[in-house]
Amino acid sequence: MNVYIDDVEANISTNAEQVLDDVLQAAREQVNEAGRMIVGLICDGINVADEELAETLQKPQSDFQRVDLQSADPVELVREALAQAEQLLDETARSAKGIVEQLTCGNTAEAMPILSSCCQAWLEIHGGVANAMNALRIDPNTMDVGGKPIVEVLGEPIRVLNDIKEAVTARDFVLLSDILSYEFEETAEAWRSIIEAIRQYTVAEE
């Protein structure tokens, strides 16, 4: 099996009896020394999707003839992810106002699908922030945002999402409107503060 990193043949010894994950770990060690990280895997010309990754990595190396690994600068990846999270946050903030208007008019059926999409987007933002911190190896126990530990600030959006879930379950749409009108704005600002703090961290990494 031949192994390439960014189209350059890599000096990684392969063993047909070992699984593909062993190759990935060796490649990670090499790119880590250059301040990069592995972000993509292509096996015999087929791009391995995220949902197939775990299963593919447990296959024996003898199943493949060529493996291509793609690396990237984690700082650049984080900046792109933060920009996307910020854009998504702006879009859902506008949607939240629309949901409140629909609820005020009694249009619950129209509001619920939009709310569901927003909640999914907010979870994606939360996950993206966590992944960004992981990519930059930020210790959440040592980072503050606005004078508060970042773990505490990160917990606020999850609390609000739980409040939204409880209000929907109870069909208390007055409470739901209040949460979206007031608490969500504070949550959005918390996310924006976290995003900006991580963005400043990327500047310090240059």
The single residue listed with the structure tokens 């929907």 is 168
Range with lowest mean pLDDT among 45-54, 68-77, 179-188, 197-206: 197-206
Residue with tokens 């208390």: 172
Judge whether 41 and 6 are in contact, CB under 8 Å.
Answer: no
The predicted structure's pLDDT at residue 186: 83
pLDDT tens digit string along 82-134? 999 999 999 998 899 999 999 999 999 999 999 999 989 988 888 888 888 88
The DSSP code sequence of 121-186 is HHHHHHHHHHHHHHHTT--GGG-EETTEEHHHHHHHHHHHHHHHHHHHHTT-HHHHHHIIIIIHHH
Predicted structure pTM score: 0.72
Read off the pLDDT of residues 124-165 as tens digits, 9 standing for 90 and up.
888 888 888 888 888 888 888 878 888 888 888 888 889 999
Q: Which residue has the higher pLDDT, 1 or 172?
A: 172
Pairing type for strands 46-47 and 66-72 reads unpaired
Long-range contact set of residues 150-157: C-beta below 8 Å, sequence gap at least 24: 150/194, 150/197, 153/190, 153/193, 153/194, 154/126, 154/129, 154/130, 154/194, 156/186, 156/187, 156/190, 157/122, 157/125, 157/126, 157/187, 157/190, 157/191
Does residue 204 register a pLDDT over 70? no
**What pLDDT, on a 0 to 100 scale, did the predictor assign at position 128?**
86
Most confident region among 11-15, 107-111, 133-137, 187-191 by mean pLDDT? 107-111
Q: What is the pLDDT of residue 69?
A: 95
Identify the residue with better confidence: 100 or 13.
100
| pLDDT of 206 strictly over 70 | no
CA distance 101 to 159: 23
> Buried b / exposed e across 23-47, counting CB within 10 Å, b at 16+?
bbebbeebbeeeebebeebebeeee
Query: How crowded is residue 91: how many other Cβ atoms within 10 Å of its Cβ?
Result: 13
Residue bearing tokens 């390439």: 4
- Quote the tokens at residue 160: 């609000």
pLDDT digits (tens, 9 = 90+) for 16-44: 788 999 999 999 988 988 888 898 999 99
50-54, 88-92, 141-145, 191-195: lowest mean pLDDT where? 141-145
